[in-house]
Each structure stands twice: as C-alpha cells, then as structure tokens.
Amino acid sequence: MHIGMSICLFQPFIAETYPTLNSSMKGIRSFIHQCVYLTWLMAVQDPPVEIEPAAEAGARFDQNVYRHHTNTGSRIAFVVWPALRVCKDGPLLCKGVAEAEQPMDAISGKTFNRLQNQLDKQS
C-alpha cells in the first residue's frame, strides 16, 4: 500500500477522534501525517523496526536501553519515549528516554511525611 493511501485511510479516524482539529491547526495535522509516514516506513522494513515494550515502573534503569529524562536514579518511574530496535530482539537502533524515580533524600520533608502517613494508614 502506498503511504499516500495510508494517510487518506487514516484521516477519517483523526477527524472522528479529534473533531476540534480544524484547518487552523495545520501544524498538528502535519505532525500527525509525519508520524503516520514514519510508522509506515518502520513497518515496511524487512525486518520491521521494533518498538521496545515500555519498562514497568520500578524496574531497574538500564542505561544501555534508556537515557535519563530529568531525574537520574536506579529505578524507572515511567517511560517518556520507547527505545527502537533494528528488529525483534535485535541490536538497539535508538535509546529510549525514561524518567527515573527520585531518591528519597531528594524528596522534601513535607512530601516524605505525607507519603509516610499514607503508608501508615494502609498498614
């Protein structure tokens, strides 16, 4: 299937999902088209480019797969952008971006006390 056709088939979905996306938002429409185009290119490769499944919150932060977003730490809080692999289980094409959990000593005393009180209530 040609990419132009893919975008044409995708447009009704966009119009239904985002009804307020009108002609004054050409930048967003262009961004969506470019995302569809890039995804199509990734899918038609032989083998297709693989999007690394997002790591679970609390998982060990693997600096071989992710780079830090704003916080550094040894555990993942959430994935900002997934990593890409050349193929399934293949070499890394591009590192993902993940936010690390803040170490407890970086949390303010007030926040720590609030968290401690919540934990105490659950016990």
Show the tokens assigned to 58: 């609390």
Q: Evaluate whether 99 touches 78 at the Cβ level (below 8 Å).
A: yes
pLDDT of residue 79: 96
- Residue 116's pLDDT is 72
The reported pLDDT for the residue numbered 22 is: 65
Rounded to 5 degrees, φ, ψ at 68 are -75, 145
Residues 59 and 116 in one domain: yes
Judgement on whether residues 57 and 80 belong to the same structural domain of the protein: yes
How confident is the model at residue 29, as a pLDDT?
A: 74
In a shared domain, residues 65 and 112: yes
The pLDDT, as a whole number, for residue 109 is: 55
The span from the CA of 103 to the CA of 73, in Å, is 7
Give the model's pLDDT for residue 100: 94
Q: Which among 38, 37, 35, 52 is positioned nearest to 87, based on CA atoms?
A: 52
> Tell me, what's the pLDDT at 15?
75
Q: Counting Cβ atoms within 10 Å, is residue 38 exposed (0-12), middle (13-18) or buried (19+)?
A: exposed
From 47, 28, 36, 27, select the one nearest 2 (Cα to Cα).
36
Q: How far apart are CA 101 and CA 113, in angstroms?
A: 18
The predicted structure's pLDDT at residue 96: 96
> Are 28 and 80 in the same domain?
no
Range of the domain at 10: 1-44
Measure the CA dihedral 119/60/95/92, to 10°.
-150
What is the per-residue pLDDT for 34? Answer: 87
Same domain, 86 and 100: yes
**Residue ranges of the chain whose pLDDT lies below 70:** 1-8, 10, 21-24, 103-113, 123
Q: What is the pLDDT of residue 95?
A: 97
Residue 73 and residue 95 in one domain: yes
Residue 123 sits in the same domain as residue 65: yes
Total structural domains in the chain? Answer: 2
